[in-house]
Amino acid sequence: MDTRGTRGTGRGRGARGGGLLVAGTTSDAGKSVVTAGILRWLARQGLKVAPFKGQNMSLNSFVTREGAEIGRAQAMQARAAGVEPTALMNPVLLKPGGEASSQVVLMGRPVGELSARGYHGGRQEALLGTVLDCLAELRATHDAVVCEGAGSPAEINLRRTDIVNMGIARAAGLPVVVVGDIDRGGVFASFFGTTALLSREDQALVAGYLVNKFRGDVSLLEPGLQMLEKLTGRRTYGVLPWREGLGIDEEDGGLGVRAPGAALPPVGEEVLRVAVCAVPLMSNFTDVDALAAEPGVRVRFVERADEAAYADLLVVPGTRGTVRALAWLRERGFAGELARRAAAGRPVLGVCGGYQLLGGRIEDEVESRAGVVPGLGLLPVRVRFAREKTLGRPAGTALGLPVEGYEIHHGVAEADGGAPFVTYADGRARDGCVVGAVRGTHWHGVLENDAFRRAYLTEVAREAGRRFTVAGDTEFGALREAQLDRLADLVEEHADTAALLRLVEAGPPPGLPFVPPGAP
């Protein structure tokens, strides 16, 4: 690839690497997955590539090696590209804290809370320079950067302050491919309408389309694709088929498990059933994906206590609204269910905010400003919310085995009794608390440690009285790699990769026609 020229419409801010923006007709059209697939395919061609998303709204985040918080989707895309994730790949992260406000994380660090009106009313536009600088730095050090858009590029009410879709495409001269989810229906109207609602200048960057999640005979789709090209003057670069189990760590994937290998038959006599409380503002729900990857482990998100009565393990996950989640658990009957489980010695696991909820006392003048609130009282832990957020990638031991994880929390927990869940590698600090079969930890990702996960599930099966045998060869990291390779295979087999590579190298095709009426 020629990374020295400035072909196409210009690379912007001195960047020399190629680029592509993967936009979508809607949220959840498959932008994250398609971006990961293209990145892995390019990496397999020997190119040095990187992901980028200027602004991400997600409660599903990750901590980089330098201690910066970014969206987990970009961390997984970095893995697809074979590079270490950094704050450059997601300079602006918005973490919703309620109906009308979000925490703004800039270059991996929280800088305050803003309402949607306050953010879109001026702050967002001011961040464009930072976003473009990050993109330029990545392009200066990589052969290509594949950018992911957010929502739809045709959100005309937000175009003036856009820093993630056509705003950066225009400023950086990026070609744009629009992804549409045909499984939802209306994909032709979505492609046409998305294009026709863009300004003439923005339309000049939209090279064409990618159909995602197609079921059936592609030949039946061809007449529609040909008509779409006649109407818009833009080609379709591929039709990606529907495949189960291809979701990667998403921004807001809803209540579902995306783990590779999910629902495999058990090795032993019985399955192990896991219920996850679907608390409000749930964060890092991907923590349980590693459990679901184990043969014979069945994971389900539940919204009422009676739905959890069957479970051998009840998980309380992280949340951006600890006090709000506490009220929800009480309203839905989970407080009583958790207390009964603890008394009977049945397994309970709390992660991050879920760990805080299991404690006896919460002092919150930061997140909810609710003051002192009694917790569920299952662990001898007091939680005090600090204004400074703890961000880290710690290592240590749990159940006598080496573990790594990552921390993202304002709550500081002090245990007055019980055993530690994790001992840090320096041996001087501990995290979490264990009393009987109730365990809590601030560490996200701890279940992705294979040896620990096996030992933990063996303990859970014993406490639950299940004749469950953990598989001895499940490697979660290897499963993730295989999943990313499957995404790249789909791109290679069902998209015109030569044409996509030309877009990355040379920019948008010249002379793309205007589709009226354009932006109002």
Domain boundary assignment for the chain: 18-247+481-506, 272-471
CATH 3.40.50.880, domain 272-471, yes or no: yes
Quote the pLDDT of residue 189.
97
Quote the pLDDT of residue 12.
47
**Annotated catalytic residue: which of 352, 410, 433, 494?**
352
d(CA 285, CA 277): 10
d(CA 257, CA 293): 9
Mean pLDDT of 390-407: 97
% the chain with pLDDT above 70 = 92
d(CA 134, CA 88): 5
- Over residues 495-506, the pLDDT tens digits come to 999 999 999 999
> Across the chain, how many H-helices and E-strands are there?
16, 28
pTM of model > 0.85: yes
Task: State phi, psi for 450 to the nearest 5 degrees.
Answer: -60, -50
- Over residues 276-329, the pLDDT tens digits come to 999 999 999 999 999 999 999 999 999 999 999 999 999 999 999 999 999 999
**Annotated catalytic residue: which of 142, 409, 442, 444?**
444
Task: Enumerate the H helices of 241-315 as residue ranges.
Answer: 289-292
Could you give the strand order of the β-sheet that contains 297-302, starting from the edge strand earlier in sequence? 297-302, 272-277, 313-316, 348-351, 438-441, 433-435
Told to judge if 134 belongs to the known catalytic residues of this protein, a careful annotator would answer no
Predicted confidence band of residue 116 (pLDDT cuts 50, 70, 90): low
Tokens of 392: 């880290």
For residues 179-196, b (16+ Cβ closer than 10 Å) or e, as one string? bbbbeeeebbebbbebbb
Report whether pLDDT(488) > 60. yes
Tokens of 87: 């704050």
d(CA 302, CA 284): 16
Q: Does 272-471 match 18-247+481-506 at the fold level?
A: yes
Task: State phi, psi for 208 to the nearest 5 degrees.
Answer: 165, -155
What 8-state DSSP symbol labels residue 182?
Answer: G
Residue 125 vs residue 178, higher pLDDT: 178
Predicted confidence band of residue 259 (pLDDT cuts 50, 70, 90): low
Quote the pLDDT of residue 115.
73
**Which residues, 6 or more positions from 142, have their beta carbon under 8 angstroms from its beta carbon?**
17, 48, 49, 50, 83
Quote the pLDDT of residue 1.
33
CATH number assigned to the domain covering 18-247+481-506: 3.40.50.300
- Over residues 409-467, the pLDDT tens digits come to 999 999 999 999 999 998 878 999 999 999 999 999 999 999 999 999 999 999 999 99
Quote the pLDDT of residue 244.
81
282: amino acid identity, one letter: M
Told to judge if 352 belongs to the known catalytic residues of this protein, a careful annotator would answer yes
